[in-house]
Amino acid sequence: MQAISVLGSTGSIGVSTLDVVGRHPERYRVYALTAHSRVDELAAQCLRFDPQVAVVGTAEAAARLQQKLRAQGLRTEVAYGPQALCDVAGAAGCDMVMAAIVGAAGLASTLAAARAGKKILLANKEALVMSGQLLIDTVAEHKATLLPIDSEHNAIFQCLPHDFRRSLDDGGIAKILLTASGGPFLKRAVETLDSVTPDEAVAHPKWVMGRKISVDSATMMNKGLEVIEAHWLFGAPADRIEVMIHPQSVIHSMVSYIDGSVLAQLGNPDMRTPIANAMAYPERIASGVAQLDLAQIGQLFFERPDLARFPCLKLAYDALHAGGSSAAILNAANEVAVEAFLNQEIGFRMIDQVIARVMDKLPHGPVTDIDALIEQDKIARSVAQSCLTL
């Protein structure tokens, strides 16, 4: 029996994780659930999974949750705030941590799980994009395990040699082929993109996800962040990570070997597959996802991405080439710009412009420790705010 802490349990990934957990009560129990503000949903999850601890964002939300749980006769301990997230991520009572908080808000708890030597199921790609080598080193130093939940990286993980040790050359690997759906605006006339609404941008053709990652998919910054994520997870240089548009999202990514073989992982687009894969690794468990019907799919389509249509993808490659804190700056600027777009403060085409301006303005330096990183993130956010109105 393994105990799991689900950080961000009310989000899209959190809900899918609990669906898989609920299918295997003999294997998994829940140690902690966390949510930022959705107290009602969190209370309902507590009622179903009876965790030891539940964490919310504020004292006020904690008081409301506490009242709801006690009214139901639950004894779940209620805590709040960023330190409580780190506490449940590193607690002795849990074996694995689903890192599914969105954005930089998930960095500290992901690092806490690494320092405590946990099995980390990493959905929160922004944490790795920001911290890069720092998180990889922390994982190694404390004998933690980092398993990718992002469907592409989980696919790559499944296509790699069993004894893969973060070296493409040792594994006989020529390159990694990261597939991308292209999002909702793959075929839309570029000159009309400025008038798209947040609701149009989050209407992803293949995946149902949180609002931030959905906008990232529309700009293809999501794929840019995933290129950086793949770099750190698999020790792959930028020029050996190729993005391939595959609008059907049937192949979730591929690994191309020097002997000419290309291994792919296929499946219906449902995050419960990579979640179940990482939770049970190296075993396999049922996830609730239907088997793929290849005859019904018939054909698979691919095309190369157009960087003029998707400037965010180029910005992410630029950040990866520049190294140091560039990726953290890119991520912070993107989070600010996406939120401003979702709040209808800026147009869709402004997102990449804001990020480009912040990257131009801010010198990047080495990422030495978490405090320096958080400081860089803060500065980049404030510069991004000032760029919104230009």
Cβ 99 vs Cβ 73: under 8 Å: no
C-alpha 232/C-alpha 304 separation (Å) is: 23
Q: Which of 81, 198, 210, 323 binds ligand NAD (CB under 6 A)?
A: 210
51 binds ligand NAD per the rule CB under 6 A: no
**Structure tokens given for 104:** 């930089």
Kindly tell me which of 351 and 357 has the beta carbon lying closer to ligand NAD: 351
Smallest distance, Mg ion to C-beta of residue 151, A? 5
DSSP string, 36-82: SS-HHHHHHHHHHH--SEEEESSHHHHHHHHHHHHHTT---EEEESH
| Nearest residue (CB) to ligand NAD, 17 versus 357 | 17
The listed partner (Mg ion, ligand NAD, none) that binds 13, CB under 5 to 8 Å by sort, is ligand NAD
**Residue 150 beta carbon to Mg ion: minimum distance, rounded to whole angstroms:** 4
Token pair recorded at residue 374: 């958080």
The CA distances from residue 383 to 54, 117, 136, in Å, are: 35, 35, 28
User: Is residue 334 classed as helix, strand or coil in its secondary structure?
Assistant: helix
Provide φ and ψ at 72, rounded to 5°. -95, 0
- Between 120 and 209, name the residue whose CB sits nearer to ligand NAD: 209
Taking CB within 5 to 8 Å according to partner kind, which of ligand NAD, Mg ion, none is near residue 324? none
The residue (of 227 and 357) whose beta carbon lies closer to ligand NAD is 227
105 binds ligand NAD (CB under 6 A): yes
Q: Using the rule CB under 6 A, which residue among 29, 36, 68, 246 binds ligand NAD? A: 36
123 is an interface residue for ligand NAD by CB under 6 A: yes
The tokens describing 179, both together, are 């597939």
SS3 112: helix
The residue (of 36 and 364) whose beta carbon lies closer to ligand NAD is 36
231: contact with ligand NAD by CB under 6 A: no
Q: Would you call 133 helix, strand, or coil by DSSP?
A: helix
Q: How far is the C-alpha of 54 from the C-alpha of 6, rounded, in Å?
A: 10
What is the smallest separation between the CB atom of 13 and ligand NAD, expressed in angstroms?
4
Q: Is 141 annotated as a binding residue?
A: no
The response to whether 241 counts as a known ligand-binding position is: no
The residue whose two tokens read 């958080």 is 374
Alpha helices in the chain (DSSP H): 12-23, 39-49, 59-71, 82-90, 107-115, 125-131, 133-141, 151-159, 198-202, 211-219, 221-234, 272-280, 294-297, 311-322, 326-342, 350-361, 370-387
Q: Give me the least distance between CB of 226 and Mg ion, in Å please.
A: 6
11 near ligand NAD, judged by CB under 6 A = yes
**Binds ligand NAD (CB under 6 A): choice among 111, 119, 126, 330:** 126
Peptide bond into 363 cis (omega under 30): no
Of residues 190 through 209, those in contact with ligand NAD by CB under 6 A are 207, 209
Interface with ligand NAD, residue 12, by CB under 6 A: yes
Do 316 and 228 contact (CB within 8 A), yes or no? Answer: yes
Q: Tell how strand 77-80 and strand 53-56 pair up.
A: parallel
Residue number, 57 or 311, with CB nearest to ligand NAD: 57
Binding to ligand NAD by residue 213, rule CB under 6 A?
Answer: yes
Is 150 a binding residue for ligand NAD by CB under 6 A? The answer is yes
| Of residues 133-162, those binding Mg ion (CB under 5 A) | 150-152
Which one of residues 4, 31, 32, 57 is an interface residue with ligand NAD (CB under 6 A)?
57
Residue 192 is assigned to a ligand binding site: no
Q: Residue 87, interface with ligand NAD (CB under 6 A)?
A: no
Chain centre to alpha carbon of residue 230: 12
User: Is 342 near ligand NAD (CB under 6 A)?
Assistant: no
Measured torsion, CA atoms of residues 129, 134, 136, 142, in degrees rounded to the nearest 10: -140
Residue ranges of the binding site for 1-deoxy-D-xylulose 5-phosphate = 125, 151-152, 181, 204, 217, 222-223, 226
**Given the rule CB under 5 A, which residues bind Mg ion?**
150-152
**Given the rule CB under 6 A, which residues bind ligand NAD?**
8-14, 35-36, 57, 100-102, 105, 123-126, 150, 207, 209-210, 212-213, 271
Residue ranges of the binding site for Mn(2+) = 150, 152, 226
